C-alpha cells in the first residue's frame, strides 16, 4: 500500500463548528473520508464569536499562544486552539485561530448579523487567518506534504507559502479548490496589498482589474486547482461573466485543473440512521417517510394532506439560488395542488418576499427564516420533491441529500445539478429527477408540472424515488480522486519537474 500522506485542509467554515453553506459540509466530509484512507489529515478554520468553546470541546495548545502577526503596520496576536471533527467511524484534529477583534468579537462568519453587511475588515481577517496557518505549521514543526485551501478566504495561504515562506514549504504541494467563483475577495489594491506584507513581486499574481483579488492568488500560486463539478469546471474556463474575467487566467493553468464532484457524508445524511428526523426509513421501508411528511408540514403550520406533494427548499437566500424564478412563477405555481416549505436566511428583500408570499398563500406555503441544521434534515426526509432552480450552482449538495432521502429533485441544468440530476423518462423508467434548461419561470413551471404528473401515478413515483435512493453519492469515489491529485503532484516534485 502507498504511504499515507500528511494533509492540512484549510477552510473558512467546517461543519459542525461553523457553517453557512456547502463548503462547511465538504470541509467536514472530505477530510474524514481522507482519514478513512489512512492519511494524517488535519483541518484549520477561524474561531468566530458564535462558536462555543464548551460545545466544541476547544482546548488551548501550549506552543500556539499569542503568536505575533503583522497586518500592515499593526501587530495583532493569534492564539490557535484545538478541537476535532468526528463521525461514527473516525476523528480529525481541528486547529482554530482565535483573535479578539477579527474573530471572537464578531458573531458572523463574513457578514454582520445585525446589518447583513460584509465586515469592513474582511481583508484583514483573512490575511490574519492565512498567516496564522503558516505560523501553526512552523511552531508545531509539522510541515504537511499537502496543503489544501478552499475559496478566496484561504487562498492567500498559497501566496505566503510560495513567497515569504518558500524555503520552509518547498516540499509542500498546494491544492486550491474553487467552490464558488462569484465571491473572489476583492479589495482596494494599495491598502490591502500593504496589509498582506507580501513582496512587491507578488503583486501581479494578486491583481485583477486594478483591484486586489484573493481568489486569483489561489489560481496563480497553487500547484493544482480543482472545482466541484465537471460542468462548473467548463464554466470556470469559458465564462468571462461568471468569473469576472478570471476564466482567462484559469485557462492558462488548464493543465493543472481538475473538476471533482463533491460527495455527501453518509454517516450524517442517511434516513436509515438519522436521529434528527421523526421516523427513520430505508428503501424497503419507504412508507415510514410519510410520518416525516406529517411532522414537517405541521412544523410549518400547514395541514397534513397525504395526497398533496410537499416541495422543499433549504437555501442561502441569494440570487444564485433562483429565487428570481420562484418570484415570477409563484402565482401560477400556487394554482397547483402543492405545499411548499422553505428554510433560509440571507438577502433581506428575499426574506421579505418569502414571508409576504407565505401570508398570501397560508395553506400552501410555509417559510422559516433562519439557519436550522436539525430542521434541514426533517425537510429532506419529509418532502416529496426538492426544488433547486439555481441561476448557477457549482455543485449543490441538497440534490444529493434529496436522493438519499427519497425526495425527488427538480433542478435547473447548471453546474453540479446538471451532472447529478437526470430527467425521468416515463417510457424507460430511468432517471432520478426533473430538469429544465433555460433560466425561465415557464420552464421551471413545466418541470414542476412534469413532476406532479408522475406523482399521481404512485407505482411509477416509487420507482423514481428508488432510482435516486439507490445511487451512491458518498465521498468514497471523490475522496480517492483527491488522493490521486495529491499523489500526482507530489510525484511531479519527486521527479524534480
Pick out residues in 294-353 that bind ligand ADP (CB under 6 A).
Answer: 314-316, 343-345
Q: DSSP state, 196?
A: H
Choose which of 16, 21, 49, 245 interacts with ligand ADP (CB under 6 A). Answer: 21
Pick out residues in 208-247 that bind ligand GLC (CB under 6 A).
Answer: 228
Rounded to a whole number of angstroms, the CA Rg of the chain reads 23
Using alpha carbons, select from 227, 230, 241, 181 the residue that is nearest to residue 417. 230
- Name the residue whose CB lies closest to ligand GLC: 22
396 binds ligand ADP (CB under 6 A): yes
How far is residue 497's CA from residue 487's CA, in Å, rounded to a whole number? 14
Return the residue matching grid coordinates 500593504: 194
Return the residue matching grid coordinates 439507490: 470
Nearer to ligand ADP, 131 or 368 (CB): 368
> If phi over 0 gives left and psi between -120 and 50 gives alpha, with beta otherwise, what is residue 66?
left
Paired with 175 in beta bridges are: 148, 224
Choose which of 98, 150, 339, 398 interacts with ligand ADP (CB under 6 A). Answer: 398
13 binds ligand ADP (CB under 6 A): no
Choose which of 180, 357, 420, 441 interacts with ligand GLC (CB under 6 A). Answer: 180
394 binds ligand GLC (CB under 6 A): yes
SS3 state of residue 365 = strand
Where would I find the beta strands (DSSP E) of 286-393?
Answer: 310-317, 339-346, 365-369, 385-388
Return the residue matching grid coordinates 441544468: 413
Q: Which three cell numbers stand for residue 482?
A: 483527491
The partner in contact with residue 345, picked from ligand ADP, ligand GLC, none with C-beta cut-offs of 5 to 8 angstroms by kind, is: ligand ADP
- Segment (H or E) for 373: helix 373-382
How far is residue 136's CA from residue 42's CA, in Å, rounded to a whole number? 12
The partner in contact with residue 418, picked from ligand ADP, ligand GLC, none with C-beta cut-offs of 5 to 8 angstroms by kind, is: none
The partner in contact with residue 373, picked from ligand ADP, ligand GLC, none with C-beta cut-offs of 5 to 8 angstroms by kind, is: ligand ADP
Q: Which one of the spans 127-135, 393-401, 422-430, 436-444 is the region binding ligand GLC (CB under 6 A)?
A: 393-401
Nearer to ligand ADP, 165 or 434 (CB): 434
Size of the site for ligand GLC (CB under 6 A): 14
CB of 476 to ligand GLC, least distance (A): 17
- DSSP secondary structure of 34-69: HHHTT-EEEEEEE--TTS-TTTTT-EE-GGGSSEEE
With both helix axes pointing from N to C terminus, report the angle between 151-162 and 214-221 in degrees, rounded to the nearest 10. Answer: 50
Return the residue matching grid coordinates 433547486: 388
Pick out residues in 403-432 that bind ligand GLC (CB under 6 A).
Answer: 416
485 binds ligand GLC (CB under 6 A): no
CB of 4 to ligand GLC, least distance (A): 25
CB of 74 to ligand GLC, least distance (A): 31
> If phi over 0 gives left and psi between -120 and 50 gives alpha, with beta otherwise, what is residue 197?
left
Nearer to ligand GLC, 314 or 395 (CB): 395
376 binds ligand ADP (CB under 6 A): yes
Q: Which three cell numbers stand for residue 468?
A: 435516486
395 binds ligand GLC (CB under 6 A): yes
How far is residue 361's CA from residue 38's CA, in Å, rounded to a whole number? 52
Q: Which three cell numbers stand for residue 324?
A: 428570481
400 binds ligand GLC (CB under 6 A): no
Binding mask 13-52 toward ligand GLC (x if CB under 6 A, else -) reads --------xxx--x--------------------------
SS3 state of residue 465 = helix
Binding mask 262-301 toward ligand GLC (x if CB under 6 A, else -) reads x---------------------------------------
Q: Which residues bind ligand GLC (CB under 6 A)?
A: 21-23, 26, 179-180, 228, 262, 393-397, 416
Q: Which residues bind ligand ADP (CB under 6 A)?
A: 21-23, 25, 314-316, 343-345, 371-373, 376, 395-398
Amino acid at each position: 500500500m502507498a504511504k499515507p500522506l500528511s494533509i492540512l485542509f484549510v477552510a473558512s467554515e467546517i461543519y459542525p463548528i461553523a457553517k453557512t453553506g456547502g463548503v462547511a459540509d465538504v470541509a467536514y466530509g472530505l477530510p474524514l473520508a481522507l482519514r478513512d484512507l489512512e492519511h494524517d489529515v488535519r483541518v484549520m478554520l477561524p474561531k468566530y464569536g458564535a462558536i462555543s468553546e464548551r460545545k466544541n470541546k476547544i482546548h488551548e495548545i501550549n506552543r500556539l499562544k499569542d503568536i505575533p502577526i503583522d497586518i500592515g503596520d499593526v501587530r495583532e496576536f493569534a492564539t490557535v486552539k484545538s478541537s476535532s471533527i468526528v463521525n461514527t467511524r473516525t476523528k480529525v484534529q481541528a486547529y482554530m485561530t482565535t483573535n479578539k477583534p477579527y474573530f471572537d468579537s464578531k458573531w458572523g462568519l463574513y457578514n454582520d448579523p445585525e446589518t447583513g453587511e460584509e465586515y469592513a475588515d474582511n481583508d484583514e481577517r483573512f490575511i490574519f487567518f492565512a498567516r496564522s496557518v503558516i505560523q501553526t505549521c512552523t511552531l508545531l514543526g509539522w510541515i504537511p506534504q499537502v496543503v489544501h485551501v478552499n475559496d478566496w478566504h484561504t487562498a492567500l495561504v498559497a501566496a505566503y507559502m510560495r513567497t515569504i515562506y518558500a524555503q520552509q514549504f518547498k516540499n509542500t504541494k498546494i491544492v486550491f479548490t474553487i467552490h464558488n467563483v462569484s465571491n473572489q475577495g476583492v479589495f482596494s489594491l494599495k491598502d490591502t496589498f500593504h496589509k498582506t506584507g507580501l513582496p512587491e513581486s507578488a503583486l501581479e499574481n494578486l491583481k485583477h482589474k486594478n483591484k486586489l483579488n484573493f481568489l486569483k492568488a489561489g489560481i496563480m500560486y497553487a500547484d493544482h486547482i480543482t472545482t466541484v463539478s465537471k460542468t462548473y469546471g467548463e464554466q470556470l474556463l469559458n465564462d468571462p461573466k461568471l468569473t469576472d474575467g478570471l476564466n482567462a487566467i484559469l485557462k492558462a493553468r488548464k493543465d493543472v485543473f481538475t473538476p471533482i464532484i463533491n460527495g455527501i457524508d453518509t454517516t450524517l445524511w442517511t434516513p436509515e440512521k438519522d436521529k434528527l428526523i421523526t421516523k427513520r426509513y430505508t428503501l424497503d421501508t419507504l412508507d415510514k417517510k410519510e410520518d416525516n411528511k406529517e411532522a414537517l408540514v405541521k412544523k410549518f403550520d400547514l395541514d397534513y394532506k397525504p395526497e398533496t406533494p410537499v416541495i422543499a427548499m433549504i437555501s442561502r437566500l441569494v440570487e444564485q439560488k433562483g429565487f428570481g424564478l420562484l418570484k415570477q412563477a409563484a402565482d401560477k405555481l400556487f394554482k397547483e395542488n402543492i405545499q411548499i416549505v422553505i428554510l433560509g436566511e440571507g438577502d433581506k428583500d428575499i426574506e421579505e418576499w418569502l414571508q409576504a408570499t407565505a401570508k398570501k398563500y397560508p395553506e400552501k406555503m410555509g417559510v422559516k427564516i433562519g439557519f436550522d441544521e436539525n430542521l434541514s434534515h426533517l425537510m429532506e426526509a419529509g418532502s416529496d420533491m426538492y426544488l433547486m432552480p439555481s441561476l448557477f450552482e457549482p455543485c449543490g449538495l441538497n440534490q444529493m441529500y434529496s436522493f438519499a432521502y427519497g425526495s425527488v429533485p427538480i433542478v435547473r441544468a447548471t453546474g453540479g445539478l446538471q451532472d447529478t440530476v437526470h430527467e425521468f423518462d416515463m417510457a424507460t423508467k430511468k432517471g432520478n429527477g426533473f430538469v429544465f434548461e433555460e433560466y425561465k419561470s415557464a420552464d421551471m413551471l413545466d418541470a414542476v408540472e412534469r413532476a406532479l404528473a408522475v406523482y399521481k401515478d404512485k407505482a411509477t413515483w416509487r420507482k423514481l424515488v428508488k432510482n435516486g435512493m439507490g445511487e451512491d453519492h458518498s465521498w468514497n469515489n471523490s475522496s480517492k480522486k483527491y488522493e490521486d491529485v495529491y499523489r500526482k503532484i507530489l510525484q511531479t516534485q519527486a521527479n524534480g519537474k
